[in-house]
Amino acid sequence: MDDDCAPWASDLLNSTINEGQLRLVEILGEGAYGVVFRAIDETSPTSSACPEPRQFAVKIMERADSRTRRWRYQQREVAAHLTVADHPNIVSVHDVFECEFFIYIVLEYCVGGDLFNPMLENRVYCRNDALVKSVFVQLLDAVQYCHNHGIYHRDLKPDNILTNEDGSEIKLADFGLSTIAKFSDAFGCGSQNYMSPECIGEDYDFHPYSTEASDIWSLGVILTNLIAGRNPWDYASINDRSFMRYLANPGYLREILPISQEASNVLQAVFTTDPGLRITLNALRERVLAVDTFFMTEEEIERGSTYVKIAAATYAPRGTDGELVKQLSIVTDSEAFELLQQSSSITESRIPEEAKFVICASSGVSSDASSSTEESNGPVTPETHAQDSVKLQQVPELGENEKIGTLVMPVIRKGRTLPAYYDEIPPPIAPMVL
């Protein structure tokens, strides 16, 4: 069990809920606002053909006072998930009930755990184009279904994508940060590595941003995870060296990651810093399906930078004894750091003059207009607000001989969701019918 788990979680282990029907047998994880347990159905019949009882995942949240904003957030999460739970690639909801102290959401149990297990533990997606396409398109379809129903997830990341045993099927989960607002002023909402720059807000003068476009950015980071087993950067801000290098040279991703030119082109369409120009979900689906391969060839890796070689070696398929892994070997973190310190192919690069500006507001959102955030009364449309000129923020100048510094390749880490720091008030939601 996680040491940071809610103090009441251990007290609920091995207890029963819902009039003795479900026994909580294991803590699976903790999100920003709840703890998820594996539960077995004590009343389900067993047989020789099916000797194990039915299993469920149960998310338990401390029940907030009905007069508070937190209670409204809890109602919003349940309502949002119920709205989209009938999609085959979204975790289904079996029941919702509450007591004096807790709210219980009984969910479909996914035996494979989250996407980190097949991706990093078993590395089943590495150099497997068909599987990457299949899994990512499943995710795109789930997110598209949410958007079509007016639900924007805002916390898309591997932790919130659950899988079957072999990682070939996925289900989107955890709607704790979801919203019905097409535009939001909830800055810093989500998980650091997967936030869009406009959601971070600091480089965009904190303009309201499109929640739809922000979800698409997060999907691009997840696609990078599947292909390369790495994050493209830690934080999509000009304060992040890797992100600055990408702004200076969009082809930079192929200088540090073993991805194909086709994959790089798709990611550039996603990682467009103007949300109004970012690729749509439908177009992204078409582009992904049209890709021949997401991965560099062995020859390209051999000619590539130290960063590419390290990333390729450390994300090789489990049990692979092919020539590629023989040539590269598997390097430890300390060996990788030593190689990075020795490498100068990227460390010595400079940001060119023409790349010292980044887009800081969507060309489709007025800088002084109210938006359909959780605090506002209506949507922003092209008819009600003309497009404004895109604002630019200057990247800090470097001295004549000053360089950006040594690049450290961002590594995927499982982490807790960062809560939003904002005063966003969600719209009222009708009470749950239990």
User: Rounded to 5 degrees, what are φ and ψ at 179?
Assistant: -145, 160
Q: What is the DSSP string of 69-124?
A: HHHHHHHHHHHHHHHHTTSTTB--EEEEEE-SSEEEEEEE--TT-BTHIIIIIS-T
Annotated binding residue at 59? yes
Residue 410 contacts residue 230 (beta carbons within 8 Å): yes
Closest CA to 226 of 149, 301, 85, 115: 115
* Active-site pick, 2, 114, 155, 203: 155
Q: Which residues contact 391 (CB under 8 A, 6 or more apart)?
A: 204, 205, 359, 360, 361, 367
CA 158 to CA 116: how far, in whole Å? Answer: 6
Residue 295 contacts residue 127 (beta carbons within 8 Å): yes
Q: Could you count the other beta carbons within 10 Å of the beta carbon of residue 140?
A: 20
What tokens were used for 186?
């909830």
203 a catalytic residue: no
CA 227 to CA 264: how far, in whole Å? Answer: 11
Residue numbers belonging to the annotated binding site for ATP: 59
Residue numbers belonging to the annotated binding site: 59
Q: Hey, which residues are catalytic here?
A: 155
